[in-house]
Structure 1
C-alpha cells in the first residue's frame, strides 16, 4: 500500500496525500483532508517509515509479547486519580518483570485519527493490547467503532478494570464490593443508607444488600451524578441526601474519592463522621488510612489488576489459540473509623461479615 493508492482512492495528487500525512508544509482544505483520511482508513495505509522499522523485528520476539500498547477510556485526567494511577503502576511493574515494554498509551478517542490508528494498531507494531478502563456499558458511537476496528486488527486484546463483551478481562466485582460495604453498615444497625456515585453495578450490590436484610429500596436515598466518582461529586451532591425529610444515617460512597468529598462537605455543615453520618467507600486509595476519621472502605487490588492484565497478554502471545478467560480479583472490607465501629484497621472476611451481630443506631 503506497501514497499513490491513497491518492487514487481520494482523487488527489500524491503531494496532497503527503501534506496531509505530514501536516505540511502546505495547508490542505478541511474537505480535502477528510477525503484523504477517509481513504487512509478504508485502505489501512501506514507510512513506510514505520514499515521499515517493523521489518527489523524490533518489537516482537518468539518468546511472546515484548512491546504492547495501552488504549485508555476517558480523559487524560484519569491518571491524576490514585485508583487508576495504581493500576498503571501495576502494569509497568509487571511489564518490567516480564522484560516487556509499553509501546504506547493512547486515549480511545485519539484513535479516531486514521493515520494514528494505522500507525499503532497493527500486529507488526504490537503483539498485544490492553484496553484500560474501556467499558462497553458507557462507550457508544465512535468509541465503539474504534474498539471494533482494534479487534479486527489484533487478536491479543485484554481488558483491565472494565469488560468489553466477551474479551478476556481482569476485573473486580463491583456489585460484590458494594454488597460488602452496605452489609457492614446494615450489620451496624443502619437502615437508611444513602448511595452516592455513578450508576453501575455498585447500585445492584447496594440493592441486593438491602433486599437480603428485608429493607425496601428507597430511590430518594440514591444520588447518581453523571460524572466519574470524583471528590467534587461527593462534595456537591451529598446535599441532595441531606435535604431529604428523613436523611440517611449512613452513606455508601462509590469510591473513596467520593467519600472524601462528602466528608469535606459534612465538616462544613457542622456534621461529624461517624456520629452524624457513617460512611464506607470503595478502593482503599492511600489517603483513606490518613483521613480524620480514617475511612472504612472495600479494598480493591489495584496494582494486581494491572499486573494480571500484562501477564495475561504475555501468556496469550506465548500460547495463541487458547480459550479466552476472565479473572475476577477478590476485594476485602477494611474496617476503620468512619463507619462508627471504632478500633484499629481490620480486614474482614466474608464469613466474618455475615456473622457480625446487628445493633441499633
Structure 2
C-alpha cells in the first residue's frame, strides 16, 4: 500500500490511525486512493491488541428477548459484566441453530473475551468454534444435545415436581393437563428440552393423573389446543400446568372463553415470569433464581472464584390462579 501511494509505511499508519503526526492533504488523498484501489480493511482485532483497553467484551446469545425470563437474564448478566469492566454484545438466536452459529462466528471475529449461551440450539458447532478461537464459553438454562461442561441453571424436572406437588397436596388436584410440546414434530424453534423436563417432573408426581396437550409453544397454539381440550371434555380437568410462560396468558384466555372460572372451576399454574400484583390474575409459578444463576455463570466465564451460593433450585411463587 505504501509503494502504491508513493510514500512510507509510517505515513500510511498516520493516515489509518489519524496520527500521531500530521499528514498533508495531498499525501492523505494518495494514501486513501491506494486504500480504495487495494480494497484494504484494517484488522480490528490486531488493532485492539496493540492498545490498552479498560473495557473487554463478552458475547451473550439469548433465544428470545421478548420473553420475561430471558430479558431478566440479559439485564442481570449485563450488570454483572459491567461491574467487571466487560461490555456485553447480544445476539437473539430464536432457537435457530444456524443463527446461533452465525452470531457466535461474528462475535469471534470481533474479538470477544468470552461467550455465554442461554438455551443453546447448536451446542456442538458453537463449542467447536469456541475451542478453535480459544474463547471460554458457559452454557445457561438449557442445551439441545450434550455439552462437556455443566449447565448453569436449575433442575427443570424439580420445577415440574414443585408445581404439581402444590396442586396435589394443597388443592387436592388429581387430574392435571400439561400444555406444551417437546418433539421436533411439535415445535422446530423453541425451548422443547426444558418443556419436556418440566413434563417429566409433573408426571413423576401426578402419575396417571396427568395427560399432555401438545402444542407448538406459541400463544396461538396453546389457545387452540386448550380450547379443543375443553370443548371435547365431558368434565374439565382440575388444573392446567403450562410448560412455558409465553403460553400462560393464552391458556387462561382459553379457559375463560370456554365459560370456566379461574381458579373456581380450573386452576392454572406455570413457570417463570416476573411478579405482577396489579393484574386480574397473579400466576402461581415455579421461579428460577435469576440473580444467582447470572452471578455464577459470569464467575465461571471470567475465571473468578465461583461463589458458594448453594444449590440453584426453583422456588414456588404463589399467586391466585391456583386457588391460594
Alpha carbons 1:59, 1:126 under 8 Å: kept: no
Q: Structure 1 unaligned runs (5+)?
A: 1-24, 26-46, 342-361
Specify the alignment match of 2:13 in structure 1.
none
CA contact (8 A) 1:232 1:261 kept: yes
SS in 2 for 1:281: strand
Over residues 81-101 of structure 1, what are the superposed CA-to-partner deviations in whole Å (9 max), with x where a residue is unaligned? 111111101111111222221
CA distance in 1, matches of 2:265, 2:150: 44
Unaligned 5+ runs, structure 2: 1-35, 183-195
Change (3 A) 1:56 1:168: farther
Q: Would the aligned equivalents of 2:152 and 2:296 in 1 still touch at CA under 8 Å?
A: yes
Please, which of 283, 302, 318 is the counterpart of residue 295 of structure 1?
283
Is the 1:235–1:264 contact (alpha carbons within 8 Å) kept by the matching residues of 2? yes
Q: TM-score normalised to the size of structure 1?
A: 0.64
How far apart in 1 are the matches of 2:209 and 2:53?
Answer: 54
Instruction: Provide closer, same or farther for how the CA distance between residues 250 and 231 of structure 1 changes in structure 2, counting only shifts above 3 A.
Output: same
- Among 201, 204, 209, which residue is 1:205 paired with? 201
Alignment of 1:68-217 (within 5 A): 68-72=58-62, 74=63, 78-103=64-89, 105=91, 107=93, 109-110=98-99, 120-121=107-108, 125-135=111-121, 139=122, 144-163=124-143, 164-187=146-169, 188-199=171-182, 200-211=196-207, 216=208
Change (3 A) 1:256 1:291: farther
C-alpha distance in 1 between matches for 2:72 and 2:54: 27
Cα deviation, residue 71, structure 1: 2.7
Distance 1:170 1:303 in 2: 12
Instruction: Decide whether aligned partners of structure 1 residues 82 and 179 sit closer, same or farther in structure 2, where only a CA change above 3 A counts.
Output: same
Output the CA distance in 2 between the equivalents of 1:129 and 1:144: 14
C-alpha contact 2:281 2:320 (8 A) present in aligned 1: yes
Report if aligned partners of 2:180, 2:242 keep a CA contact under 8 Å in 1. yes
TM-score, scaled relative to structure 2: 0.71
Matched, 1:49 2:43: yes
Instruction: Measure the CA separation in 2 of the matches of 1:262 and 1:49.
Output: 52
Give runs of ≥4 in structure 1 deviating > 6 Å.
none
Distance 1:278 1:119, change over 3 A: closer
Q: Is 1:297–1:334's contact at 8 Å kept on the other side of the alignment? A: yes
Shift of 1:175: 0.7
For CA contacts below 8 A with separation 6 or more, give which structure has more relative contact order.
Answer: 1
CA contact (8 A) 1:89 1:306 kept: no
Structure number with greater Rg is 2
What is the aligned-residue RMSD (CA, Å)?
Answer: 3.1
Q: How many matched pairs? A: 264
